[in-house]
Structure 1
Amino acid sequence: MYAALRSEKTKFFSFGWCTLGVIGAIIIPLLFLLTSDTPKIGREEEILSLCLQALYLGQLGIIVASAGYLGQEYSHTALRTTLLTQPSRLKLLCAKFVNITIIIVFIGIVSSVLSLLVLFFQHDMEWTGTLMIRFFGSISLGILSWIQLAWITSALSIMTKSLIAPIAIMFPLILGLSQMLFAISQLAKFLPTLATLNLFSIPALNTLLDKWSGLAVQFSWVVLFLIISSWLFSYRNVR
Structure 2
Amino acid sequence: MYTALRSEKTKFFSFGWCILGVIGAIIVPLLFLLTSDTPKEGSEKEILSLCLQALYLGHPGIVVASAGCFGQEYSHSALRTTLLTQPSRLKLFCVKFVNITIIVVFTGIVSSVLSLLVLFFQHDMEWTGTLIIRLLGSISLPILSWIQLAWITSALSIITKSLIAPIAIMLPLILGLSQMLFAISQLAKFLPTLATLNLFSIPEVNTLLDKWSGLAVQFSWVVLLLTISAWLFLYRNVR
State the Cα deviation string for residues 152-211 of structure 1 (Å, max 9, x = none).
000000000000011111101111111111111111000000000000000011111111
Deviation of 1:47 (Å): 1.1
State the Cα deviation string for residues 50-99 of structure 1 (Å, max 9, x = none).
00000001011000000011101000100000000111101100000000
Count how many residue pairs are aligned between Structure 1 and Structure 2.
Answer: 239
Aligned residues of 1:138 and 1:199 also touching (Cα < 8 A): no
> RMSD between aligned alpha carbons?
0.8
Distance in 2, Cα, partners of 1:186 & 1:145: 21
| Secondary structure at the counterpart of residue 25 of structure 1 | helix
2:47 counterpart letter in structure 1: I
Distance in 1, Cα, partners of 2:146 & 2:163: 18
State the Cα deviation string for residues 22-69 of structure 1 (Å, max 9, x = none).
100000000000010111111111111000000001011000000011
Q: Which runs of 4+ in 1 moved over 4 A?
A: none
Identity %: 88
Tell me the equivalent position of 1:214. Answer: 214
Deviation of 1:130 (Å): 3.9
State the Cα deviation string for residues 86-131 of structure 1 (Å, max 9, x = none).
1110110000000000011110110000000000000001123443
Distance in 1, Cα, partners of 2:199 & 2:227: 26
| Secondary structure at the counterpart of residue 37 of structure 1 | coil
Q: Which runs of 5+ in 1 are unaligned?
A: none
2:189 counterpart letter in structure 1: K
Distance in 2, Cα, partners of 1:130 & 1:220: 34
Tell me the equivalent position of 1:111. Answer: 111
Asked if 1:191 is matched to 2:203, the reply is no
Tell me the equivalent position of 2:3. Answer: 3
Distance in 1, Cα, partners of 2:218 & 2:134: 23
| Secondary structure at the counterpart of residue 42 of structure 1 | coil
Please give the TM-score of this superposition, normalised by the length of structure 2.
0.98
Tell me the equivalent position of 2:157. Answer: 157
| Secondary structure at the counterpart of residue 39 of structure 1 | coil
Distance in 1, Cα, partners of 2:203 & 2:65: 30
Q: Counterparts in 2 of 1:27-176, with a 5 A limit?
A: 27-176=27-176
